[in-house]
Amino acid sequence: MSINQEVKQQVIALLQRGQRVRAKELLQDKFQVASDDAEKLVQAIELEHPRAKTVPPHIAEQMTLVKSQAGGCIVLGLRTLMVFFFIFTFAFYAIAIGLLVYFNNYIGNPESITGTVVSVKENDSGSQAPVVEYTWNNEVKRYESTMYSSPPDYSVGDQVALLVNPENPDEAVIDSFTERYMLSTVFGGVGTFFLIFSIGLLVISRKIKRSLAGSQ
């Protein structure tokens, strides 16, 4: 009886894992032979491929147990990391949404006006943020940005669009993506990174778990 190479490799793999019974069942299913004939086929494969010698049952059992325990620890570790990063995901998303809501509420239903950059302030790292003066009801007011950049986004004398809260004209913000949405975008981006990383850990842990289940 001729056994193709694919079936031989499957039998060899089962024998090396100490699963002689499953190897015989595979041959019985493939060739519709009795148990004794399947045993002879197994023996023939063992003679042809010495590396297929069956591991003693007690050793195979110990090997399976060690592999299962090690794999279980890995899966548990990956799942723990996944939960950890999921928590970070929700935390950063919550901060991003909170910042977005805060800035929208901060300026209420704003009115758009034009202000002038009168100076720049510098932090310890050398980055700069603009100081803008604007006029509201003939009263000069000042807005100091908290968004530093290097090189600076604005120079003294630049005209910039401002959004002013009409109910409290001392509350204003430069009408730009950086001023209004940058912080929430950064926190949302970090949250997305953690989400993708968490999903990756989940996929890997499931693959390891399926692999362990298939080898038993």
The 3-class SS string of 79-128 reads HHHHHHHHHHHHHHHHHHHHHHHHHHHHCCCCEEEEEEEEEEEECCCCCE
**Confidence (pLDDT) at 104:** 76
**Confidence (pLDDT) at 213:** 63
Compare 61 and 81 and report the one with higher pLDDT. Answer: 81
Strand order in the sheet with 139-144: 139-144, 128-136, 111-122, 159-164, 172-174
Q: Which long-range contacts (CB under 8 A, 24 or more apart) does 84-88 make?
A: 85/194, 85/195, 85/197, 85/198, 85/201, 86/194, 86/195, 86/198, 88/191, 88/194
Beta bridge partner(s), residue 115: 160
| Percentages of the chain per state (helix, strand, coil), in multiples of 5 | 60, 15, 25
Average pLDDT over residues 84-100: 92
What global pTM score does this model have?
0.57
**Confidence (pLDDT) at 53:** 57
pLDDT tens track for 123-162: 989 999 999 999 999 999 999 998 999 988 999 999 999 9
- Residues with Cβ within 8 Å of residue 139, at least 6 apart in sequence: 169
**Confidence (pLDDT) at 66:** 47
Average pLDDT over residues 74-88: 86
Q: Where residue 109 falls among pLDDT bands split at 50, 70, 90?
A: confident
- Residues with Cβ within 8 Å of residue 105, at least 6 apart in sequence: none
Average pLDDT, the chain: 83
pLDDT tens track for 178-216: 888 899 999 999 999 999 999 998 888 888 777 766 555
